[in-house]
Structure 1
């Protein structure tokens, strides 16, 4: 694969216990082509080292370094996984010479291959253009297994990312591109956005969301004291699909928690509400894959954003 980089063992360091007390002691650095078919629970961490989409979307570049920063933080965390659970770092999809579309194609192939081998993929970005390649990989896998299986996308984000790709795709277009693919195939576009901000989306984006029947929860409602109502919406959405793909854009969080992103804002949501929603999603048994987007180490403070991303991965890995 032209746009693939093997896992880096030197990312996985931390306190040594010789008892697998920490995730850097648990992880297996396994090249993508050597990943085995899982016999029991197995999690595969795959980087998407690309910020070309962010550059095209006039954002702050640096997310290309995001996957490595997240993996470094994950490695230092405690390991509470069952002894039979396998954790793989399988390296990263890279973007060469600005060819984001080729990177997305290889990401799609990698995700599909992981699912075929009964791995649970967690993709670490990278710009939010990761979502288009990730979706296509899941879709290819589902189509190969049984036609007609539906997928719902739940996006934790301040932005719809429904900009039209009139020229080329970018980090703001992935869900518009997915919607257009669904239209061509005459299938439903099932898209739920949690944390949308009015000060982060223009009128045309709200109109596009309305035209595409997007379900969304505004940031002023995406709060812990509305959790019961939010869970009602999430469950209603999940009940109408066979599988759920979750994507978490770190720039949806307040910059108090996530300063290291391409488009930081103090007006974002808090981590606890995301964890509680993930709990609901995972309880459905329909979560098929997950990614975390827009990690930008160049603007991080004390590694806060990388630690937040790592904590989200830690929670999903231990509770999926």
Structure 2
């Protein structure tokens, strides 16, 4: 089963500066209400089930609130509002129910005109995020049905991740299978599967996964390819990918970052891609005008050192939300 966790505005605390125009997130964030004007809506996903099924280190269910606490003191540079929409909690191993609950919440947020940013939680959040977006574009038929719309939306998925997460879901659905699940659903509905995975570690993905990614037409850039000299070229690759899409879903697995920058994840990266190189990729997606939904996954406060991972995640949310 899944449960909605009440909005806890007490998480939003920080310093208040006396100078004019010196607001911080904790001063401007609002609890989401039914008639709220369109803005950015933060929705947490308290889930460890997918990580546990994937035999990873649990603790990511505590990530959403840790990320809120890291966001709270950051300087405010937005024009439009930001709302706290609470959390969806996965109870025990009821992952599929929790994913459906999160998807339904996201569909409602999208219908209300918000830009949802989901705070994970394990990367099993990705299937729920995509499902919410799919339901929004296909309200007459949920993603569990076989029918397809007459004009399928061209949804591009950009995943910043050390892992493809394309493992076969026929064995068990976990944090390692969401994009294979999405590909299966796209095939059932007659939708194109448009997937880019940036920051992949060859050491952390089997040959079978590279083969599957190639068969699915995935845009792949490995961690060792993303450096300062080649960054502009990779940004252009991403922009070409974006040009072939109508809508974008951005998902960031924090294990794409080096372990020194993001120690608080289930599988820290021996190499990774630095935050300084990740940010221009995020900006390219944000500035495209096509971003409909984003999530951040795998923040595990139990494993974090001095809040490094939470701070990096908060900076990425801050970057994503900039509208001025």
State the TM-score bracket (shorter-chain normalisation): over 0.9
User: 2:2 touches 2:90 (CA, 8 Å); kept in 1?
Assistant: no
Residue 118 of structure 1 corresponds to: 113
Offset at 1:229? Answer: 1.1
Residue 293 of structure 1 corresponds to: 297
Query: Which of these residues, 35, 43, 48, is aligned with residue 51 of structure 1?
Result: 48
Q: 1:37 to 1:8 in 2, by over 3 A?
A: closer
Separation of aligned partners in 2, 1:123 and 1:92: 9
Residue 188 of structure 2 corresponds to: 184
How big is each residue's C-alpha offset from its partner over 1:39-93, in whole Å with a ceiling of 9 and x where there is no partner?
Answer: 5xx11000001011000001000000000000001011111222xx211111101
Structure 1 residues 49-198: aligned runs within 5 Å? 49-82=46-79, 85-144=80-139, 147-198=151-202
Residue 221 of structure 2 aligns to a residue whose secondary structure is strand
TM-score normalised over the length of structure 1: 0.94
Separation of aligned partners in 1, 2:28 and 2:176: 36
Offset at 1:2? Answer: 4.7
Extract unaligned runs of 5+ from structure 2. Answer: 141-148
Does residue 254 (structure 1) correspond to residue 258 (structure 2)? The answer is: yes
Offset at 1:29? Answer: 2.1
How big is each residue's C-alpha offset from its partner over 1:258-285, in whole Å with a ceiling of 9 and x where there is no partner?
Answer: 0000101231110011111122122221
Separation of aligned partners in 1, 2:91 and 2:228: 42
Offset at 1:225? Answer: 1.6
Instruction: Return 159-168 or 19-28, whichever deviates more.
Output: 19-28
Separation of aligned partners in 1, 2:103 and 2:36: 18
Q: 1:202 to 1:104 in 2, by over 3 A?
A: same
Instruction: Return 223-232 or 251-260, whichever deviates more.
Output: 223-232
User: 1:108 touches 1:138 (CA, 8 Å); kept in 2?
Assistant: yes
Residue 84 of structure 2 aligns to a residue whose secondary structure is strand
Residue 143 of structure 2 corresponds to: none
Separation of aligned partners in 2, 1:232 and 1:306: 29
Separation of aligned partners in 2, 1:265 and 1:124: 20
TM-score normalised over the length of structure 2: 0.93
Residue 249 of structure 2 corresponds to: 245
Separation of aligned partners in 2, 1:161 and 1:126: 15
Extract unaligned runs of 5+ from structure 1. Answer: none
Residue 222 of structure 2 corresponds to: 218
Offset at 1:35? Answer: 3.3
Offset at 1:168? Answer: 2.7
Residue 16 of structure 1 corresponds to: 16
- Which of structure 1's runs of 4+ aligned residues deviate more than 6 A? none
